[in-house]
Chains A and B, each alone.
Chain A
Amino acid sequence: MLRLACRVLLLATTATIFTISPATAGGNGVTQTPSIFAPAATPAYATRELTWIVFVITGAIFLVVAGLTVYAIMRFRRRQGDDGREPPQVYGSLQIELAWTVVPILIVVVLFLVTTRYIFAIEGRPPVPEALEVTIVGHQWWWEIRYPKLGIVTANELHVPVSDPAHPTPTFITLQSADVIHSFWIPQLAGKMDVVPNKTNRIWIDPQKAGGYVGQCAEFCGLQHAGMLLIVAVQSKEDFAKWAAQQRAPARNDAEVQAGRELFSSLSCINCHAVRGTAANGLFGPDLTHLMSRSTIGAGVIQNTPENIRSWIDDPASLKPGALMPAMKLSREDLDKVTAYLLALR
């Protein structure tokens, strides 16, 4: 009885969990749960649909088999006053065996056909002419994001235009890796796709609601695998065009931060980082041309604030242990100058 009660309690709790809708589309786009049950793009919608189908099938199987087991446990337990005789020995039954072989095979066939339809629908989708092409290169432990046709290079924050279901403008993403295997996963937009060195993978999304969506690397890639977050900003077509124009522009060259710019150009910073329009053209680290247009630094690990920028330059490992950028060991004045320069890169 106690056992049954516990199981009922567990089942009830689970049922409650599953009926709660977990995610809210945050207006500021930063705080929300990336649940697969709160889709915003076709691959995720399709997967949710398929998930419900699978839940119903497997749920039914669970109820039937668990129910029979519970019944057997309750009905056939040894009771007090049992005379200790052995029950009738049943060695088997061909009909029953056949039944519970054939029925599962049929279920499996149906499930397989349904699954295959969805596989080809999602994977086999070819790009349309209006599709936006993005190339994302996974690094330890940040995301390089390039828009080849728009001449944009940025990092960690993917901006895409919202897609109207009537006239879809999807984004097709080419995934490559600079070092080890990573995995690109924004649950509300699509299933994940691994980012594999010496291999090019493709994934597509067509977000239908503007807003912010989050995800992160989903394949263990070393020390800061947990610190390789992703932000997707889905914008209206006008907002996206404005953002793209701003990103395409070369780096600002404000006079107030001239000293910082010169210092920056003389340090090893330029070996790893690129700032378009200056001598800095390194590819190992994120592009900094429009650093201040991003909401986070360190691949989503900390907010993009002046204090954090300063701390990061001083000692990245204090904010993201194991980050591959070395502590620059600058004097306080130099640190202030370089920080001021970077803060100007809007």
Chain B
Amino acid sequence: MSVLADTMASGRGAGAHRPWLAVLHDWVVTVDHKRLGVMYVVSGLVFLAVAGLEASAMRVQLAWSGLHIVPPATFNQLFTMHGTTMVFLVGIPIVFGFANYLVPLMIGARDLAFPRLNAFGFWAFLFGGLLLYFSVLGGEGLYGGGSAPAVGWFAYAPLTGRAFSPGNSTDYWNLSILVMGFGTVATSINLIVTTLVMRCPGMTLGRLPVYVWMMLVVSGMTVIALPPLSAAQIMLLLDRFLGAHFFDTQAGGSAVMWQHFFWFFGHPEVYILMVPGFAFVSEIIPVFSRKVIFGYPMVVAASMAIGLLSMSVWAHHMFAVGMGAPLNAAFAASTMLIAVPTGIKIFNWVATMYGGRIRFATPMLFACAFIFQFLCAGLTGIMLAVVPFNWQVTDSYFVVAHFHYVLVGSLVFTIFGAIYYWFPKVTGRLLSERLGRWHFWLFVVGFNVTFLPMHWLGMMGMPRRIYTYPADRGWDFWNLVASLGVLFQGAAILVFLVNVVLALRRGERAGNDPWDAWTLEWSTGSPPPPYNFETVPAVGSRRPLWDLKHPDDPDGPHE
């Protein structure tokens, strides 16, 4: 039994009972990609709960017009911390945590290319996250008991300048993300090198699992798109501490330049978050439809196209800034264009399901909900690319609805699907299907009840980032509905937590391959031994385990 299994089962006394300090020490000094992956995901889920509570507080305040439950200063901190936490402390770590765990296993490697750099990446993330939340204690500096940043997760200038954000709250936002950024770039380089150099014999690039291809694209995007954010943040640091004028409009600086730099990072960032979600379902849907993914080359090509095109659309976040008609039109064009490869992927997934024998285990439930919700998200995205419509609904609840359909309705749903799918591999235990169904249905209902009405609220004129609204706008009813959805989502998360705890304690033991899947991680133990594979595997197609299970009809000749 692996040490990991020992640790997981330590509560039951299985295996040698080691002192908890020794166990903790093992986890703190680890450079094993599997452990680091687990640490990333667990930390991300903890921050998910925190950010969820922040959102819940906001929804309580907004449930009706004119409420005084949360004061304005606190509300502004809540939406800043909620957005920052969700993007940088939930999305990124979970997505890269899964990649950490899965990529070496899927390519038959023993670990990532640079195990110590991997550990650095995790600790940089954790330190950054703790630094951000330390702002709650230390942010106000001389003046008060502390405060979190309140400038929004994209921190537009000149609101973030010394003149308009005194104290140190904004500096916590700035520095924590800067530190985390270095870790993320390091992990991305690590993943790229691993994928290009450490594949097992027979695994050509054309035989990479779709998941690995997509994580390769994501890592490439990160290496190029994250440094611009770091650069902008260094500039903001210089402005705030050394009196520089990068974004100081009083000295001739440009507030719009911050937006260009930020969104040049920010748009690829949302694809960096979302493409791993695509990667999850690209593994889950084929297995539970019992069919090979339809159009592998096209799926891979579409992912690369998305990676490339995502670098060209950033100013669609800035249609209302006054860039002028030619630039507005150009960015509308590129934004609409990126819908094409994205749509192609949806079609490929549906085509995979078509003609299959679909088994609706919990991972597949989440993947199916993803299809519908991502379709909504993508279509509202196309609507937002229509510039005059964008002029009406940007910075309104319509856009809030859109990106929550992307990040919750699509990304979080696929993350849950991935957790249910790979939990048996990581822990050796199966999660309960019954509890999984409860989790799924509560979450689907709660999510849609909260976010669907927001499309309408935006079109009825409700802007975003307001801590209250007048009674005569007619927004009360749908805000109340949206707030009630939170109860279902909260219940869903609780059910999920119960499921995890029960499974760890007395879940049914999973074998190597509980789902009858086809990629290499299912060929080794659950959980895998520290060295991953007893003998280095050799593959002859994209689905090595299919070939083993169907020696009469291997994949190779068809590819």
Report which A residues bind B (CB closer than 8 A).
3, 6-7, 10, 14, 17-18, 22-23, 30-37, 43-44, 46-47, 50-51, 54-55, 58, 61-62, 65-66, 68-69, 72-73, 76-78, 82, 86-93, 96-97, 100-101, 104-105, 108, 111-112, 115-116, 118-120, 122-124, 140, 179-181, 183, 185, 187-188, 190-194, 196-199, 201-202, 214-226, 229, 300, 321-322
Q: Chain A's nearest CB lies how many Å from the CB of B211? A: 18
Contact with A along B356-395 (1 / 0, CB 8 A): 1111100000001001100110011011011111111111
CA of A82 to CA of B356, assembled, Å:
12
Q: Is B298 in contact with chain A by the CB < 8 A criterion?
A: yes
Q: Is B243 in contact with chain A by the CB < 8 A criterion?
A: no
> A residues within 8 A CB of B375?
62, 65-66, 69
Q: Residue on A with the closest CB to B333?
A: A112
User: Given A198-B253, A199-B322: A91 and B296 within 8 A (CB)?
Assistant: yes
Q: Chain A's nearest CB lies how many Å from the CB of B197? A: 28
> A residues within 8 A CB of B76?
220, 222-223, 225
Quick check: A118 and B372 within 8 Å, CB to CB? no
Q: Is B5 in contact with chain A by the CB < 8 A criterion?
A: no
Q: Chain B's nearest CB lies how many Å from the CB of A37? A: 7
Contact with A along B331-360 (1 / 0, CB 8 A): 011001101100110110011011111111
User: Given A47-B388, A187-B461: A192 and B395 within 8 A (CB)?
Assistant: yes
Report which B residues bind A (CB closer than 8 A).
71-73, 76, 150-152, 156, 158-159, 163-164, 249-250, 252-256, 289-292, 294-298, 320-322, 324-325, 328-329, 332-333, 336-337, 339-340, 343-344, 346-347, 350-351, 353-360, 368, 371-372, 375-376, 379-380, 382-383, 385-396, 444-445, 448, 452-453, 456, 459-461, 463-470, 472-475, 550, 553, 555, 558-559
Quick check: A90 and B358 within 8 Å, CB to CB? no
CA of A191 to CA of B463, assembled, Å:
12
Quick check: B73 and A78 within 8 Å, CB to CB? no
Quick check: A58 and B383 within 8 Å, CB to CB? yes
Q: Residue on A with the closest CB to B292?
A: A89
The listed residue (A7, A14, A36, A58) touching B379 by CB distance below 8 A is A58
User: Given A65-B350, A219-B395: A78 and B389 within 8 A (CB)?
Assistant: no
**Chain A to chain B contacts (Cβ below 8 Å), 8 pairs:** A23-B460, A37-B459, A89-B555, A91-B296, A112-B336, A123-B328, A179-B163, A199-B322
Q: Residue on B with the closest CB to A70?
A: B372
> A residues within 8 A CB of B336?
108, 111-112, 115
> B residues within 8 A CB of A229?
470
> A residues within 8 A CB of B294?
90-93
Quick check: A222 and B356 within 8 Å, CB to CB? no
13 A-B pairs besides A62-B375, A191-B388 with CB distance below 8 A are A17-B456, A35-B461, A50-B388, A66-B372, A76-B357, A89-B553, A91-B559, A97-B344, A119-B387, A180-B164, A181-B158, A194-B322, A217-B463
Quick check: B164 and A31 within 8 Å, CB to CB? no
> A residues within 8 A CB of B372?
7, 66, 69
Q: Chain B's nearest CB lies how many Å from the CB of A336? A: 29
CA of A89 to CA of B290, assembled, Å:
8
Q: Residue on A with the closest CB to B390?
A: A191
The listed residue (A115, A180, A193, A218) touching B329 by CB distance below 8 A is A115
Quick check: B475 and A115 within 8 Å, CB to CB? no
Q: Residue on A with the closest CB to B252?
A: A198
> A residues within 8 A CB of B340?
101, 104-105, 108
CA of A68 to CA of B348, assembled, Å:
12
Sorted nearest first, the 6 A-B pairs with minimum C-beta distance are: A191-B391, A34-B461, A226-B466, A33-B474, A198-B249, A197-B249
Quick check: A36 and B321 within 8 Å, CB to CB? no
Quick check: B558 and A89 within 8 Å, CB to CB? yes
CA of A30 to CA of B163, assembled, Å:
35
> B residues within 8 A CB of A187?
392, 460-461
> A residues within 8 A CB of B71?
321
> B residues within 8 A CB of A51?
383, 386, 389, 392
Q: Residue on A with the closest CB to B160?
A: A180
> B residues within 8 A CB of A18?
456
CA of A188 to CA of B459, assembled, Å:
10
Quick check: B356 and A119 within 8 Å, CB to CB? no
Q: Chain B's nearest CB lies how many Å from the CB of A40? A: 13
CA of A197 to CA of B255, assembled, Å:
7
Q: Residue on B with the closest CB to A77?
A: B358
Quick check: A181 and B73 within 8 Å, CB to CB? no
User: Given A78-B357, A194-B320: A225 and B465 within 8 A (CB)?
Assistant: yes
CA of A92 to CA of B347, assembled, Å:
11
Q: Residue on A with the closest CB to B165?
A: A222
Q: Chain A's nearest CB lies how many Å from the CB of B362? A: 13
Q: Residue on B with the closest CB to A59?
A: B379
User: Given A91-B292, A181-B255, A196-B256: A6 and B444 within 8 A (CB)?
Assistant: yes
> B residues within 8 A CB of A185?
395, 461, 463
User: Given A123-B328, A216-B463: A226 and B72 within 8 A (CB)?
Assistant: yes
Quick check: A111 and B382 within 8 Å, CB to CB? yes
Quick check: A220 and B388 within 8 Å, CB to CB? no
User: Given A91-B292, A92-B295, A93-B295: A73 and B460 within 8 A (CB)?
Assistant: no
Quick check: A73 and B368 within 8 Å, CB to CB? yes
Quick check: B255 and A198 within 8 Å, CB to CB? yes
Q: Residue on A with the closest CB to B259?
A: A181
User: Given A33-B474, A89-B292, A115-B388: A69 and B371 within 8 A (CB)?
Assistant: yes
Quick check: B376 and A119 within 8 Å, CB to CB? no
Quick check: B388 and A112 within 8 Å, CB to CB? no
CA of A229 to CA of B357, assembled, Å:
56
Quick check: A104 and B339 within 8 Å, CB to CB? yes
The listed residue (A10, A119, A193) touching B332 by CB distance below 8 A is A119
CA of A307 to CA of B152, assembled, Å:
35
Q: Chain B's nearest CB lies how many Å from the CB of A206? A: 16
> A residues within 8 A CB of B460?
22-23, 33-36, 187
> B residues within 8 A CB of A46?
388
User: Given A73-B368, A91-B558: A14 and B452 within 8 A (CB)?
Assistant: yes
Q: Chain A's nearest CB lies how many Å from the CB of B93? A: 26
Q: Residue on A with the closest CB to B289?
A: A76
Q: Chain B's nearest CB lies how many Å from the CB of A281? A: 22
Q: Residue on B with the closest CB to A35?
A: B460
User: Given A66-B372, A76-B358: A100 and B344 within 8 A (CB)?
Assistant: yes
> B residues within 8 A CB of A218?
320, 394-396, 463-464
CA of A108 to CA of B492, assembled, Å:
38
Quick check: A69 and B350 within 8 Å, CB to CB? yes
